[in-house]
Amino acid sequence: MATDCIFCKIIAREVPANIVWETEQVLVFPDMNPQAPTHLLIIPKKHIPSLLHITPDDDRMIAGIYAVVKDVATKFNLDEGFRIVTNNGALAGQTVGHLHFHLLGGRKLVWPPG
C-alpha cells in the first residue's frame, strides 16, 4: 500500500467507494467522474504505479484483470460493446498513479479516442 494513494485508500476501505466486484487480487468501483453511462475502474489491489512497472510476478493479476472485465461487462449488460482504457503517463492523461483500467460502455464510443 502507498500511503498517499487514493486507490490504495479505497482498497483499505479508508475512502468510500461503491465496490461492485472483488476478487483476491482485483477491485472494481464506479469512476467518480463518469464519461459514459457505465464507467467503472478495475484496479489491482497491489500498488503498481503504471503499466511500465509491472513485472512477470504480475502475470496472474493481469490475466485476472481480463477475467474480471468479462464478468463485469456481462453483469452490466455491455455485451453489445465496451472499451477498456489505460491512460499511461502524463501525456496520456494519467492522473492517479495506481494502475487502473477504465471500463466504458452504455453508449456509442467513437474512434479515435482523442
- Residues found near ligand AMP in the complex (CB under 6 A): 6, 15, 17, 31-33, 41, 87, 93-96
The residue from 39, 98, 100, 102 that is catalytic is: 100
Choosing among ligand AMP, Zn ion, none, which partner's interface includes residue 94 (Cβ < 5 to 8 Å by kind)?
ligand AMP
Listed as own residue / partner, the contacts of 74-82 with beta carbons closer than 8 Å and 24 or more positions apart are 75/20, 75/21, 76/38, 76/40, 76/105, 76/106, 78/38, 78/103, 78/105, 78/106, 81/105, 81/109, 82/38, 82/109
Q: Which of 8, 61, 69, 72 binds Zn ion (CB under 5 A)?
A: 8
Any bridge partners for residue 29, and if so which? 41
Candidate list 9, 39, 46, 47; residue touching Zn ion; CB under 5 A: 47
Phi–psi pair at 76, nearest 5 degrees = -95, 15
Closer residue to Zn ion in complex, CB, 44/105: 44
Note if 98 is an active site residue: no
Residue 2 contact, options ligand AMP, Zn ion, none, Cβ 5-8 Å cut-off depending on partner type = Zn ion
Q: What is the largest CA-CA distance in the chain?
A: 39
Q: Provide, rounded to whole angstroms, the least separation between the CB of residue 29 and ligand AMP.
A: 6
- Applying CB under 5 A, which residues contact Zn ion? 2, 5, 7-8, 47, 98
